[in-house]
Amino acid sequence: METDGSVLIRAQQWLKGNFDEETRKAVGKLIDTNPAELTDSFYRDLEFGTGGLRGIMGVGTNRMNKYTVGMATQGLANYLKMMFPDLHPVKMAISHDSRNNSKFFARIVAEVLSANGFRVYLFDDLRPTPELSFAIRQLGCQSGVMVTASHNPKEYNGYKAYWVDGAQMVAPHDENVISEVQKITTIDDVKWTGIPANIVSIGEEIDRLYLDRVVALSLSPEVIRRQKNLKIVYTPLHGCGRKLVPDVLARFGFENIHMVPEQAIADGNFPTVHSPNPEEHDALDMAINLAEKLHADLVMATDPDADRVGIAIRDRHQRMILLNGNQTAAILFYYILNRWKGLGKMKGNEFIVSTIVTTKLLSEIASSFGVKYFECLTGFKYIADVIRQHEGTLEFIVGGEESYGYLIGDFVRDKDAVSACAMIAETAAWMADQGKTLFDLLLEIYREYGFFKEGLISVTRKGKSGAEEIQQMMVDYRNSPPLSINNSRVVRINDFLLQKTTEVSTGIQIPVNLPKSNVLQFILDDGSIVSVRPSGTEPKIKFYFGVRERLSGSDDFEPCEKRLDQKISDIIASMKLR
């Protein structure tokens, strides 16, 4: 394979100047021996997207390394100086997860920011993403950075950029930061020499304040006292959940907690799992095996930065089954709203938030409790934005999305697996106190509101050509949308990029009052929903499927689930996605 001339020129720039010797040698080796890898490493700049940075680690302009991290951070610093010109110093909080190089990158970020005259609050060790969000608010910071690539494979790293309210940036700040980052065209534009006096180490004192707020969320402390021996298995999947999740469960009052020992070790190679993603069934295998040995009631697993949680529960046959993110959300939302009502906390101005690709069951639950329901674009920063918009007028209770992220209360402004683990365990204790299980609660919800079942498949396309193919798929779906899917007419198309809803039979168009996003949604005549969305952080395009049916009773659960699963499979086949 012959290297493109422009790529070679870009790569050769890294053989001179102020790049370190190790980097130069690595680039030289790519030039001499691996033209394909060289092209992927240098064909573009690593994009600072609306959520921050994320990419494969290595040398090159399209890789996560100290130079791309430093340049992105300088751009972020320049924007913050513009936004807070009279504030001296601008304050930042920085944390990191357990990934390879996360601590190193966090230090680079801290040094660049300190060199720019900022006061930097740097966590002394790995901490969960939600605690970083909390720290920004608690310490009165103007921004923050969490070094993580979430659940991506071990080759990846990245960082999320936060705003003054502890939420990831939304318009106009996200796009404005991108513009400033793009102006940093050379490493010589970066202030690299950190000022140690500007970097303040933080840790246990923030832990205590954060955990106090999480414990205050508890709605049934007397139930936990009776059910304190509920047997719980927890795994942090080698991530930073090990730092706080066992502590918060103990502080809630649970005394029978078992952490998977092999996965309690922070390790960026994630040696016991194919992927440290609680959405992946295999990631929970070791925890489920331990649960079977211990006859545990509940399994919970958090991703490396502890902002998402996956769970396994026992069905009516005492088999451990995995719940998807929508099912966990339904259980959690129902419990919290039920207890708020039972405790007389409802004043009529409460609301919950979810996303356009999350189960519509949450809307039904909210309606039944007289709680307002808001729907936003995919991504937790949009949930946080809804909270911000209604701050001071409405009271936020809970938010969540299908990708295993949940938030209870508003003292954090990103998804929070620490508080979610505690409240899921409390929900299990609440049911156990009635002689029932979480599975019984799920059945009760389905009987009351209908059996909602969702599915998701991702189509991955790697490299430059893959990114182009994904974009073309969206162009084709937008320009030539399907007239029917699985023999059911497409009756409505929601186009969140063009911000319009089209009634197919009449051609009538209605504006969509949400920010622009490259997402298409097809509503079928039989009530099924198909959503198509390119990932903003990974080289893949995602297809979300939602189907529903009435559930006549507990005995109908398995047959009904099979029918709904088959319907999703038929939709996938009709769209030729497999």
Identify any residues that bridge with 455 across adjacent strands, giving them in sequence order. 545
> Residue 494: left (phi > 0), alpha (psi -120 to 50), or beta?
beta
| Residue 140 near residue 219, CB atoms below 8 Å | no
**Within 13 Å, how many C-alpha atoms sit on residue 484's CB side?**
7
Q: In whole angstroms, how far apart are CA 553 and each of 231, 402, 444, 446?
A: 28, 25, 9, 9
Q: Which helix (H) or strand (E) holds 317?
A: none
Give every CB contact of residue 576 below 8 A, 6+ residues apart in sequence: none
Which positions are catalytic? Answer: 150
Query: Can you tell me the distance from the alpha carbon of 378 to that of 539, in angstroms, rounded to the nearest whole number?
Result: 17
Distance, CA of 418 to CA of 506 (rounded, Å):
48
- Count H helices and E strands in the chain, helices first: 18, 23
Element (H, E) at 181: helix 173-182
Give the DSSP letter string of 490-515. EEEEEETTTTEEEETTT--EEE--S-
Distance CA 389, CA 54 (A): 28
Cβ contact 46:53 at 8 Å: yes
Cβ-contact 189, 86 below 8 angstroms: no
Q: What are the tokens at 539?
A: 């080289």
